Amino acid sequence: MTTQKKKQLKEFVEENHRLLSVFGIFGGLTAFFIQLGQDFLAVSSFFAFLLLLWEVMASFPKREEASVPLRLFEYAFTAMLFSLGWHLLTTYRRTLLQISYLPFLGLYAVIAIKVVPSQKINLLMSRIDIKSKKLGDFVRYSYALAIFALAMYLAFLSARLLQEFFG
């Protein structure tokens, strides 16, 4: 029976130093662009920051494979990110409420993509398509447009509800 050596904090940092450096650079760039008032650049760099955050969090070893200092570093890292999230939510609440339309649109689009194929609408479309190709195309495009418009409308209403509730 062999005992497996637990990964040390120093090993983790040495293995992931480039990822951690780039993560810090994009965090600094985001803060810099916010200070400059460059919203588009701030949002773009923040998106890259979030993608790098995902990679950093995924690179931590399993609890059983990590030493105590490495686990404490992971907890401190996570706590720091939760505090950053809380700060962003409280400081930029108005901006977040204004752009809340986008995540809602994505959510409703995913729901529409998952729900619509499960309905028996394809059978109806194929019957119309057999009778008339032009009518089938018109119905198919009209149906797609209606679903997209409904997702946009639901996203708009959800964003307005959030703005009324929290704004």
pLDDT (tens digit, 9 = 90+) per residue, 98-157? 777 788 888 888 888 777 666 667 677 777 767 777 887 887 788 888 888 888 888 888
Q: Are 109 and 146 within one domain?
A: yes
Q: Of 29, 64, 91, which residue constitutes the final position of a domain?
A: 91
Q: Are 23 and 52 within one domain?
A: yes
Domains: count for the chain: 2
Which tokens go with 125? 């479309």
| pLDDT tens sequence across 53-74 | 889 999 999 989 999 999 999 9
Q: Would 4 be classed as within a structural domain? A: no
Identify the pLDDT of residue 118.
60
Q: Of 57, 91, 125, which residue constitutes the final position of a domain?
A: 91
25 pLDDT more than 50: yes
| pLDDT tens sequence across 80-95 | 888 887 877 777 777 7
Structural domain harbouring 81: 9-91
Percent of the chain at pLDDT > 70 equals 92
- Closest by CA position to 9, among listed 79, 72, 81: 72
Percent of the chain at pLDDT > 90 equals 26
Please, which pLDDT band fits residue 167 given cuts at 50, 70 and 90?
Answer: low
Q: Are 17 and 85 within one domain?
A: yes
pTM for this model (two decimals): 0.56
Q: Are 144 and 71 within one domain?
A: no
